[in-house]
Structure formats: C-alpha cells, structure tokens
Amino acid sequence: MNFYKVKLMVVVFSLTTANVATAGNSRTYVANDDSIESKICVAAATGSKLNLNSKVKDLSTTKLMSTKYQIVANNLNCNGINIVHFAEMVGNIQIANKLKSYRIENVEIRDIAAIYNGNVAISDSY
C-alpha cells in the first residue's frame, strides 16, 4: 500500500473518531426569544470571544465596549444564573474568564478595632 494512502486513512480515521467523540457531548442552545440578551446567553454558551463580542456590541448605545461588558457580566442572567457562572457551568471557560474580568467584586470593609479588641497595659516607667 502506498505511504500516502496509509497516511490519508489514518488522518480520516482520526478525524472521524474525534467527531464521534465530541458529538456525544455536544449540546444545542437555542434562544427563547429574539432579544439581544438571549442571543448573548447563547453566545456565552456556545460561541467564541469574537461571536460574543459581536452580540455585546449591539447591547446598548454606549460606545465603550468595556462598559457594555460590565453591564453583561454584572447584570445579565441566563436561565436564572449569572452569565459568568452560566458560561462556566456549560464548559465555555474561555468566555467565562473574559466575562469574569469585567465583574465588579463586592468589597467588605471591616472595622478591625471591633474585631481584634484586646487589652493594652500602659505603664509610666521612664
């Protein structure tokens, strides 16, 4: 058998096996309506960064993409779950990490004097 035919058969077999392996794990996500929010959720589940970017671009009238991403990352829920957690849950880690960078984290300020209060002895030795 010719070397190139064997190589071609190995490549075709490998591609077929990879397609069969991924076909069992693939899910289909469909938007319930035609809203931009639903389209962003579908893009977060199935799309690439470029696909998500094209959907987020249509979100609001502001020209700053970082503001649009902040709105999405902090306010949009997909199936009742924040979009960052939704993307993580469905396995689109690349999108989840991108959106996570726009999350505004809650900051807790504690009065350390109230937490760590002890007794201090003052002496007058000079």
Q: In angstroms, what CA-CA distances link 54 with 48, 110, 112? A: 10, 41, 46
- Percent of the chain exceeding pLDDT 70 equals 63
> Which of 52, 51, 45, 57 lies closest to 81, judged by CA?
45
Q: Count of H helices and E strands in the chain? A: 7, 2
Could you tell me the pTM of the whole model?
A: 0.63
Q: Quick check: 60 and 68 in contact, CB under 8 A?
A: yes
Query: Which pLDDT band, with edges at 50, 70 and 90, does 21 fall under?
Result: very low
Name 77's bridge partners.
82
**Cβ–Cβ contacts within 10 Å for residue 110, how many?**
8
Residue-level pLDDT at 94 = 94
